Amino acid sequence: MGNTFEYATTPLALASLIAILVVGLLKVISAGKNNALNRMITHYGFTLVLLFGLVGNGIYLFNSYQSSEALIIGTAIDKNSGKYLPRVQVDTGGHARGMTSDTGDFVLAIPKSRITDQYQISASLEGYERQTATINHQAKMFVRFELEKTRLNFDTAMQVADARIVVGHYLGLPEIQLSIKFNNPLSAAIVFKDLQLDVVSPTGNTRHLAQIGATLNSHSNLQAPLQSIYVSPSSSAQYLFRFIQYDVQTHQIAISAQTSMQTRPDFQLRGPQIGNTLLEPALTQQLSTLMSASWFWEVGESIVNVSANVDGETVRFSRAIPITSDQIDAMKAISNYYKDGFGLYPQVSLMPVGSAIPGHQIESSAL
């Protein structure tokens, strides 16, 4: 019997041994008694044995939990607001993992077999920067995470989509077409507002260009300017934009050209035109004069600065555009472009650059 108790080291084993003894005792007690008493003793006897077994197992598991596991106890809050963060994923790199409660608390139990001298604990939640902490082993360890919301990377939020900037002019005023890619790595949608473009010439002159149209790609018709560019969470959006120095002076020139269009049926000669309507020779000279007076492009490296507003902060990028004398000569040959049917208004065609041969529309140079 003494050897038997040495091996009965768990509550389950002890409960089994007690059950055997009680069954034998009940048989002795109930021998010769009536069946009702026998059933009552049997019922309450086994109920008592079962109760002892459950209590004993509970005590055993609690003592084992206390003695064989290390506990990491902590909280996770928003660093800016101080609010407790629920559903934060907490991980110790293979030792234990869990999630914060609605009140931002968590408890990780590290099994005895996985206890080490040090633990690397990480906390991560969508929309927040991942944070890590290193703690030394103790029976109970405490850690507090103060998570910061993921911020937009302003260096990559807005980019030239295909590294191409198409340069031209409208009556000598700067005109640019470029594709812009808007990137949103955040878990919430963002809106780019007030898209602007400025050009700085090699001699330091600056012109502001207004967005006059946008389209999804170069094969679609130009639509109205986009006042706001909405980008869904964890995605990108790309548009082709057209910018021109469209100020009061430019508007007056365009209106003057439109009201002076020559519509007489007997005007058969192919000449300068606006859209598909020919212009009077006198107006052609007037436009050329205005073009020379307002000319902006210079030989050398011009700088294009693009900016937009996101939640009150400015996102921007800059690109250098080298322009050669041949390209400027091609742009200045405005009369030759008119003769070959290039329009001004309202369907303004971009004056392509890259060739000194007037009247030849060439492919836009990749810059």
Domain limits, CATH 2.60.40.10, in the chain: 158-339
pLDDT per residue as tens digits for the range 194-229: 999 999 999 999 999 888 788 887 666 767 788 899
Q: 64 pLDDT exceeds 80?
A: no
- DSSP track, 4-71: HHHH--SHHHHHHHHHHHHHHHHHHHHTTS-HHHHHHHHHHHHHHHHHHHHHHHHHHHHHHHHHH-EE
Nearest alpha carbon to residue 303 among 152, 188, 201: 201
pLDDT of residue 157: 87
Q: Which fold has domain 158-339?
A: Immunoglobulin-like (2.60.40)
Integer angstrom CA distances of residue 195 from 121, 153, 228: 42, 17, 8
State the Cα–Cα distance between residues 354 and 151, nearest whole angstrom. 41
For residues 303 and 288, the answer to whether their CB atoms sit within 8 Å is no
Q: Are strands 70-78 and 140-147 parallel, antiparallel or unpaired?
A: parallel
Cis upstream peptide for 111 (omega within 30°) = no
pLDDT of residue 25: 63
State the Cα–Cα distance between residues 169 and 156, nearest whole angstrom. 29
Which of 66-80, 188-202, 203-217, 239-253 ranks highest by mean pLDDT? 188-202
Domain limits, CATH 2.60.40.1120, in the chain: 70-147
The two three-digit tokens of residue 8, written as one number = 């009965």
Nearest alpha carbon to residue 70 among 135, 138, 118: 138
Helices (H), the chain: 2-7, 11-30, 35-68, 248-259, 281-294, 325-332, 334-339
**Segment among 68-77, 181-190, 262-271 with least mean pLDDT:** 262-271
Query: Using CA of residue 286, residue 289, residue 290, residue 295, what is the dihedral sign?
Result: positive
pLDDT per residue as tens digits for the range 313-362: 899 999 888 888 887 877 776 545 544 434 433 333 333 333 333 333 33
Q: Percent of the chain having pLDDT more than 70?
A: 57
CATH architecture of the domain with range 70-147: Sandwich (2.60)
* Predicted TM-score of the model (pTM): 0.55
